[in-house]
Amino acid sequence: MKTRIWLVTALAFALTSPVFADKRGDAKARVEFGIIAAQKGLWTEATSVWERAVQIDDSYGQAWNNLAVGYEQLGKFDQARKAYEKALELEPGNNFIRNNYDQFREIYDRQNRRRDK
Amino acid sequence: MTARTAVAISSAVAALATVGCLNFYEIPVETPIHAKLDSSPFQRVLVAGFLSGGSKSIDPNTETARLLRSQLRTKSQMRVIDADAISLVDEVDKRNGTAPPPSDEPRIMTEKDLESYESIFTDAAFWKKLGEEYQGPLIVTGSVLFTEVSKQGMVSRPVSSVDQYGRPTVNEVRNFSSMKGFALAPKFVFIDGRTGAVLYSESFHEEALYQESQTTPALSSYFELMDKLLPGFLNTLSSQKIRGTRILLK
Q: Where do the DSSP E strands lie in chain B? A: 24-33, 44-54, 79-80, 138-162, 168-192, 198-203, 206-211, 240-249
A114 and B29: CB-CB below 8 Å? Answer: no
Residue B177 lies in a domain: yes
pLDDT in the model for residue B63: 95
Residue B15 lies in a domain: no
B247 and A100: CB-CB below 8 Å? Answer: yes
B32 and A73: CB-CB below 8 Å? Answer: yes
Tens-digit pLDDT profile for residues A50-99: 999 999 999 999 999 999 999 999 999 999 999 999 999 999 999 999 99
CA distance B212 to B150: 9
Beta strand pairing status for B240-249 and B24-33? antiparallel
**Considering CB atoms only, which of B36, B244, B249 is closest to A114?**
B36
Residue B215 lies in a domain: yes
Which 3 state secondary structure label does DSSP give B25?
strand
Give me the interface pTM, i.e. the ipTM: 0.81
pLDDT in the model for residue B124: 96
| Type of residue at A101 | Y
| Type of residue at A55 | Q
Residue B216 lies in a domain: yes
Determine contact: A39 vs chain B, CB below 8 A: yes
A35 and B24: CB-CB below 8 Å? Answer: no
CA distance B230 to B207: 14
Spell B45-76 as b/e; 16+ CB within 10 A means b: bbbbbbbbbbbeebbbbebbbebbbebbeeeb
Domains and CATH numbers, chain A: 2-115 (1.25.40.10)
Nearest CA to A104 out of B67, B3, B242 is that of B242
**In chain A, residues 63-92 whose CB comes closer than 8 Å to chain B:** 65-66, 69, 72-73, 75
Binding-site residues on chain B for chain A (CB distance < 8 A): 23-25, 27, 29-34, 36, 200-202, 232, 242, 244, 246-250
Low-confidence ranges of chain B (pLDDT < 70): 1-22, 102
**Considering CB atoms only, which of A35, A103, A111 is closest to B244?**
A103
Considering only CB atoms, which chain A residues are within 8 Å of B30? Answer: 73
Considering only CB atoms, which chain A residues are within 8 Å of B242? Answer: 107
| Partner residues linked to B139 by β-bridges | B46, B191
Nearest CA to B218 out of B98, B72, B55, B86 is that of B55
Residue B156 lies in a domain: yes
The total of other beta-carbon atoms located within 10 Å of residue B219's CB is 13
B247 and A75: CB-CB below 8 Å? Answer: no
Residue B10 lies in a domain: no
Nearest CA to B47 out of B125, B167, B147, B130 is that of B130
The structural domain count of chain B equals 1
Residue B6 lies in a domain: no
| Type of residue at A10 | A
Cα–Cα separations (whole angstroms), residue A88 to A63, A108, B24, B208: 11, 17, 16, 36
Query: What is the extent of the structural domain holding B214?
Result: 22-249
Residue B186 lies in a domain: yes
CATH number at residue B26: 3.40.50
pLDDT in the model for residue B231: 84
**Considering CB atoms only, which of A69, A104, A111 is closest to B248?**
A69
| Partner residues linked to B198 by β-bridges | B191
CA distance B247 to A65: 9
| Residue A8 in this model has a pLDDT that exceeds 80 | no
User: A16 CA to chain B: closest CA distance, Å?
Assistant: 22
Tens-digit pLDDT profile for residues B101-155: 767 778 888 888 889 899 999 999 999 999 999 999 999 999 999 999 988 887 7
Nearest CA in chain A to B248: A66
